[in-house]
C-alpha cells in the first residue's frame, strides 16, 4: 500500500513538473514574441528611427517592446538573424544572398530606392592607380559578402578583369581602413558613411563608384518565423521607416544635424552620406527580385556561394488582412 501511494505521489509530482515546465516555456515564448529585436548598422534610416523613438510608441499600442543591436556590417548582422539573436535588420544587396546560401531562414520585407554613389572603390590620394584595369594583381580590402563585394565583381568585369585577377583581402570596415591608411592594401571597396569619412579625412580618391554598375539597394529583412507570426508588427515598422525616410528627403540639414553626433562624424561627412542614400521603403517588386537573382547567379557562377538560389522563395508577402505599404 505504501509503495502504491509513493508511486502515485511521484507520478503526480512528475506531472506537475511537466505542466510547470510547459507553462514556463510558453511564458518565455510569449515574452520573446512581445519584443522586436532590431539589428542596425552605423548608417541609414534606422539610426534616425532609433534616436526618435517613434517606433517604440507605435508598437507599445500592440504590446510590443523594441530592442536595438548595432553590427559592423551586413554579413555580421545576418549571422545574428540566422542564430536568432535579432528578428529584423537592414543590409546591402549582397549579404542576404550569402545568408540564404548558408541556409538562413530569412525573408526580404522591403527595400530602399537605389543609391549607387553610396559605395565605391577608393585608392589613396597619391596612388599611381588611375583606372580599374590597373587593379590587376593588386590587394583590395573589402568586407566579404557585403554589398561592395558585388560592386567589385561588376567593376572588374567592366574593365575586362576577372575576380581571380585581384588579391581580395577580407576585412571589416574598421580593420580595412587601418590597412588602407598603412598602405597594406592598394584599394578599399567601402560604403557610406565609411566611404565619406575616408574621402574627407584621408582625401581618398574614388576610382569608381556604383553609378552604372550596381543599384546598391538597402534591404530590410526579417527572420521568417517572426514575420509570419507578427505581420502587423512588420508592417508598422516598415511604415515608420518609410515615413522617416521621406522626412529626411525634405530636411537634409536637420537630418544631418541629428545623425552626425550619433555616428561620431563631422557634419560635412555626415551630410555627404545622407545625400547619397536612397529613401522611401517600398515592397519588393519583380524588378528588384530579378536584380537580386542576378547577384545570386553571379556569385554562384564564381563559386563564392555553394549553390544556385531562388530569390523569389524568400520574398515576404503580407497577409491580405494587413495593409501593405506601397510599391
- 22 pLDDT more than 60: no
Give the pairing type, strands 106-111 and 139-142. Answer: unpaired
Residues 73, 173: contact at Cβ < 8 Å?
Answer: yes
Rounded average pLDDT over 138-148? 93
Pick the closest to residue 70 from 263, 257, 239, 234 (CA basis). 263
Q: Which fold has domain 116-209?
A: D-Maltodextrin-Binding Protein; domain 2 (3.40.190)
Mean pLDDT (the chain, rounded): 88
Domain coordinates of the chain in residue numbers? 35-114+217-314, 116-209
Tell me the CA distances in angstroms from 219 to 106, 164, 292, 299, one per residue in order: 12, 28, 10, 18
Confidence label for 145 from pLDDT (cuts 50, 70 and 90): confident
Whole-number pLDDT of residue 318: 77
Confidence of residue 275 (pLDDT cuts 50, 70, 90): very high
Residue 41 near residue 77 (C-beta atoms within 8 A): yes
The C-alpha atoms of residue 168 and residue 248 are separated, in whole angstroms, by 36
Q: Is 222 exposed, middle or buried (0-12, 13-18, 19+ CB in 10 A)?
A: buried
Same topology for domains 35-114+217-314 and 116-209, yes or no?
A: yes
What confidence tier does 183 reach under pLDDT thresholds 50, 70, 90? Answer: very high
175 has a pLDDT exceeding 90: yes
Cis peptide before 77 (omega within 30 of 0): no
The string of pLDDT tens digits covering residues 193-230 is 999 999 999 999 999 999 999 999 999 999 999 999 99
pTM (whole model) above 0.85: no
Position 219 scores a pLDDT of 95
- Helix (H) / strand (E) containing 207: strand 205-209
Secondary structure element (H or E) that encloses residue 75, with its range? helix 74-83
pLDDT digits (tens, 9 = 90+) for 89-99: 999 899 999 99
Residue 176 pLDDT class (50, 70, 90 cuts): very high
pLDDT at 19 over 70: no
The three-state secondary structure class of 154 is helix
- Between the two ends of the chain, the Cα-to-Cα distance in Å is 74
- Please name the fold of domain 35-114+217-314: D-Maltodextrin-Binding Protein; domain 2 (3.40.190)
**Residue of 43 and 59 predicted with greater confidence:** 59
**Mind listing the pLDDT tens digit for each residue in 227-269?**
999 999 999 999 999 999 999 999 999 999 998 998 899 999 9
pLDDT of 324 over the 70 cut? no
CB 91 within 8 A of CB 63: no
CA dist., res. 218 & res. 103, Å (int): 21
pLDDT of residue 20: 39
> What is the rounded distance in angstroms from the CA atom of residue 160 to the CA atom of residue 136?
10
Q: Which cell numbers in the block locate residue 232?
A: 502587423
Segment among 12-16, 160-164, 231-235, 312-316 with least mean pLDDT = 12-16
Rounded CA separation 255/248 (Å) = 6
Give the phi and the psi of residue 78 in degrees, each rounded to 5.
-70, -25
Amino acid at each position: 500500500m505504501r509503495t502504491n501511494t509513493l508511486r502515485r505521489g511521484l507520478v503526480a509530482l512528475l506531472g506537475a513538473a511537466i505542466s510547470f515546465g510547459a507553462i514556463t516555456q510558453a511564458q518565455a515564448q510569449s515574452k520573446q514574441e512581445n519584443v522586436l529585436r532590431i539589428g542596425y548598422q552605423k548608417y541609414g534610416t534606422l539610426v534616425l528611427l532609433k534616436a526618435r523613438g517613434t517606433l517604440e510608441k507605435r508598437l507599445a499600442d500592440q504590446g510590443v517592446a523594441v530592442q536595438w543591436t548595432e553590427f559592423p556590417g551586413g554579413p555580421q548582422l545576418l549571422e545574428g538573424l540566422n542564430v536568432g539573436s535579432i528578428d529584423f535588420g537592414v543590409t546591402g544587396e549582397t549579404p542576404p544572398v550569402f545568408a540564404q546560401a548558408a541556409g538562413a531562414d530569412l525573408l526580404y520585407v522591403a527595400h530602399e530606392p537605389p543609391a549607387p554613389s553610396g559605395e565605391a572603390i577608393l585608392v589613396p590620394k597619391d596612388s599611381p592607380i588611375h583606372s580599374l584595369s590597373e587593379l590587376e594583381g593588386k590587394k583590395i580590402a573589402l568586407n566579404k559578402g557585403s554589398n561592395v563585394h558585388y560592386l567589385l565583381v561588376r567593376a572588374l568585369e567592366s574593365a575586362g578583369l576577372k575576380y581571380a585577377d585581384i588579391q581580395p583581402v577580407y576585412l571589416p570596415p574598421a580593420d580595412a581602413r587601418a590597412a588602407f591608411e598603412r598602405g597594406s592594401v592598394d584599394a578599399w571597396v567601402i560604403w557610406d558613411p565609411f566611404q565619406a569619412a575616408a574621402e574627407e579625412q584621408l582625401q581618398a580618391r574614388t576610382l569608381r563608384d556604383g553609378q552604372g554598375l550596381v543599384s546598391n539597394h538597402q534591404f530590410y529583412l526579417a527572420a521568417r518565423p517572426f514575420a509570419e507570426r507578427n505581420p502587423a508588427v512588420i508592417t508598422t515598422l516598415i511604415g515608420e521607416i518609410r515615413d522617416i525616410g521621406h522626412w529626411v528627403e525634405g530636411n537634409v540639414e536637420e537630418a544631418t544635424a541629428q545623425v552626425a553626433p550619433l555616428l561620431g562624424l563631422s557634419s560635412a561627412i555626415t551630410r555627404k552620406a545622407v545625400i547619397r542614400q536612397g529613401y522611401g521603403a517600398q515592397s519588393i517588386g519583380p524588378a528588384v527580385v530579378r536584380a537580386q537573382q542576378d547577384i545570386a547567379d553571379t556569385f554562384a557562377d564564381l563559386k563564392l556561394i555553394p549553390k544556385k538560389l531562388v530569390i523569389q522563395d524568400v520574398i515576404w508577402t503580407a497577409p491580405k488582412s494587413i495593409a501593405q505599404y506601397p510599391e
